[in-house]
Each structure stands twice: as structure tokens, then as C-alpha cells.
Amino acid sequence: MSSVRSSTAIVNESGIAFGTSGARGLVEQFTDEVCAAFTVAFITAIQRFFRFDRIAIGMDRRPSSPAMAAACASAAHALGIQVDDYGVLPTPALALQAMADCIPCIMITGSHIPFDRNGIKFYRPDGEITKADEIAILNAEAAMPSLSAPARGEVSEVANQAYTERFTSWFPGKPLKAWRVGLYQHSAAGRDLSAHILSELGAEVVVLGRSEAFVPVDTEAVSDEDQAQGRAWANQHQLHALFSTDGDGDRPLLGDETGTWQRGDILGLLCARALEIEALAVPVSCNTAIEACGAFQVVERTRIGSPYVLDSMATLSERFARVAGFEANGGFLLGSRLEDDGRQLAALPTRDALLPALTLMVAAAERGATLSQLFADLPARYTASDRLKDFATEKSHALLAEWQASPELMQQTLGLEATIVSLDSTDGLRATLENDDIVHLRPSGNAPELRCYSESTSQEQASALVKRSLAALAKL
């Protein structure tokens, strides 16, 4: 597998690109050579700023992930870098351990996208890579070393133990001892770890939907089947909460006692309020209840993607002591170390699924309230989202450019019942209507899909707005 070509040539020829979170592509594009080239380019780019002799690697449960992890490990070894192999674990658990050890890490995951695709996420010793780092990786021009056959080493449980300790120390005792929590495990990387942590916090865990085949759960576009299944599980098992994550455990899916899955940005909002966060950075697609609730001194709106949220969080941290961010998918990024009654919660500036879900469950349990009562205590703004699959990215960009020049054409094509009064092109095209409804269209950064987000004064209206818009788009 040795080559005289540079990492840049191999990566560019692969057709793999960086999306909103890591490099994503089809499984067949992630050959051993390509995975090795990405690893060599990443290490070369990061070595300009950090000194290290180890790197950590983790992965999700996709069938293609073990081979990709082995190829990355072999490339690191060829550069004289030792590898801490943590096997299958949630992305935030890997990032937490690597940051504690002050070393970079690589996570093999495609998150929520279908199993015929995969991806690689990269972390510096101080957290997620930036957009500038992405450019540096793509242009590293590093010479490829002679590579041995791909192989992985012994898997360590240290990262899982540290991730567990993070939550059992922040939520002392057994705050969920009276709660029955349904855990929709499917093929999530952290399915067993989540069960262990919930049990450590006192919950009775009901394991549901475990699958050895990979299941692409998208927390921003919950399927009708999963919505019906959630309600059935809650009724059958008399649950206080229903919890799940996407494939790599950085996006939460939390259902209340009725089995109704709640929106990720609402989880983030309630979590941030419970943690007494002062300043927030959130993507433009998030619910406007964040500002309307009046809980935060500053709310900065960004493009969609954790690198943009992190950039904004870094700026906010210069002025505020308690900073966080979250995305519409529910992934919560903690930018500041928190202290409460002698307990500490270390900053973890990467998406995490467990912190928002556990914070809300514990808050409800301590108040003797239900999750639905927590969710009801917010301004009446409801969001919905879904996606149109197999919609070419080039077609999406052309369509949105045309509509930005002619809002009337957008209104007519989508059959919107109210006049468009403003457009926001921060990321995609976000139209605010005269009746305060919102329709936001954005090409996916990870797949040939067109995403549609909506906001209205009721869940039914928001969902109907998405369905009507996507139905109109499907006819184009």
C-alpha cells in the first residue's frame, strides 16, 4: 500500500469532502490508502501547532468502520505515532479522553447517514478541528510513508470509564432512582455505555430496539415509524422517559412520558437554562424560543455545523464565564467549566448527547415533574424538519439562488399561504412569513439531500409546513 504520491493527491482524487462535521463519503471511497492519507495529512497539519507522540482512535458500529480504523492506525504507526485504540464508543467519550490526555484523536463515523456511507472526524488536542484546519488537511502535501498491513491494537476501556465518571460525579447519588427509562439502543455506539450510566444514576433501564444491523437514526428527521414506536413503547412499559442517540452518540433523541420525541434545540435550550448558561451560540436553524424565553444574556446565530458554533463560542468566552452552544439536532457543546456545590463539570466543546438528556431527566425528577411539563414551560414556538433524499446539491444551490432573487417565486412554488417578509441567507435560505411562520431550506453538507426546517405556533402547523414544502419540491 506504499505510494510516492502526496496525501493531498490521494485525498483530492478520492472525491471525499468535509461536510458540517468531518469528512464524509461512500464506503467504497474510503479505501485503506485514502484513510491513511487523511491520517497522514491530519497529523502533519496538527503537528505545526502541537507536540505529541500518541493519537487516540475510536469508531461507531458501521460494518466498514473497523477496516477504516485499522488503516488510520497503520498510518499513524508509520509516522512513529503510538495509537490508543478505544474501539466502539461515543464520539464525545473519545474527545473527552483525548482532551484530558492532550493528544489528537480520530473518530470513524458517519453519524446518522446510511450505512453505505461513512466518515472521519478529527480532533486537535484542544477540541474539534476548525474550518482552517480542514483546509490545512486538504492541502498538507505530506509525503506518504511506507505502510504496513492495516491492523488495530488492544482496545482500552479508559475512555468509557472517564465518560461515566463525568456524569456520576456531576449528578451525585441516585437522582433517577424512581424513574423507568426506555433506552432505544438500535446500533448506537454508546448503547451499552448509556445503559450503564443511567443505571448508575438509579434509573430502571428498559432496553428497546437493539439491532446488530446498522440503523441510521437521524435526530432531526425522526421517521413516522420511530414516532409511532416511541408512543407504543411508552404506553407498554409505563416509561418516565425514552432515550436514544444517533450512530456515534453526539446527538440525543429524548422522548417524554407519552413517548413523544422532542426537538433537539428544545432539549438544548432547557439544558442551557438549567445549567445557568449566560451566552449561547446556536445555528440559524434553531427555534426562536431561545431568544423569546429571555434566559440568556446573548444568543449568537451561526451557520449550521459545529465548527461555526465553536468559533462563536470562542468569541463569547472572552466576555462570559458560562458559555455553551447546541444545534438543532440536540448535540450540546459545553464551552466553560461549570462548578456547583463543590462539583465540577469540565468543558467539552464538542457535541454530546448525554448531557442534555440527563440534565432534563434529573431536573424533572428533582422537581417531581414530568418531562412534558418541562417542555410546556416555554414560549409556544414549534419546529419541524425533514429532508428530500436524492436531490442533487447543485440543483439545490441553483434553486435557492433563484429564490433569493425572487421571494415571490419561492412563495408561489412552495404554495406558502402568507407573504415572505424577510430572507436570511446565513446558511441556505430562511424565509420569515408575514404570520411569523418560518421556512428554511438548506442543502445537506453530508449527502445529496435538501433539508427543510419550519417553525410555527403549533406542532401540527410546523409539520404541515414541512410536508407541503417538500411535496412541492419533489415535483420540481
Query: Given CA atoms 76, 82, 88, 90 in this order, what sign does their dihedral have?
Result: negative
pLDDT at 353: 97
What domains lie within the chain, and their CATH numbers?
A: 7-156 (3.40.120.10), 161-376 (3.40.120.10), 382-474 (3.30.310.50)
Buried b (16+ CB within 10 A) or exposed e, 141-175: ebebbebeebebeeeeeebbeebbebbeebbeeeb
The neighbour count for residue 467, using CB atoms within 10 Å, is 14
Distance CA 431, CA 423 (A): 5
Distance CA 306, CA 73 (A): 25
Tens-binned pLDDT, residue by residue, of the chain (476 aa): 444 689 999 999 999 988 877 899 999 999 999 999 999 999 999 999 999 999 999 999 999 999 999 999 999 999 999 999 999 999 999 999 999 999 999 999 998 888 899 999 999 999 999 889 999 999 998 999 999 888 888 999 999 999 999 999 999 999 999 999 999 999 999 999 999 999 999 999 999 999 999 888 888 778 888 999 999 999 999 999 999 999 999 999 999 999 999 989 999 999 999 999 999 999 999 999 999 999 999 999 999 888 899 999 999 999 999 999 999 899 999 999 999 999 999 999 999 999 999 999 999 999 999 999 999 988 989 988 888 999 999 999 999 999 999 999 999 999 998 999 999 999 999 999 999 999 999 998 667 899 999 999 998 999 999 999 999 999 98
Question: Which H helix or E strand runs over 164?
Answer: helix 158-170
Cell of 261: 420525541
Across the beta sheet with 180-186, the strand order is 204-210, 180-186, 241-245, 252-255
pLDDT at 153: 87
Name the residues annotated as catalytic. Answer: 111
pLDDT at 460: 93
Cell of 461: 402547523
Nearest to 380 by CA among 297, 469, 287: 287
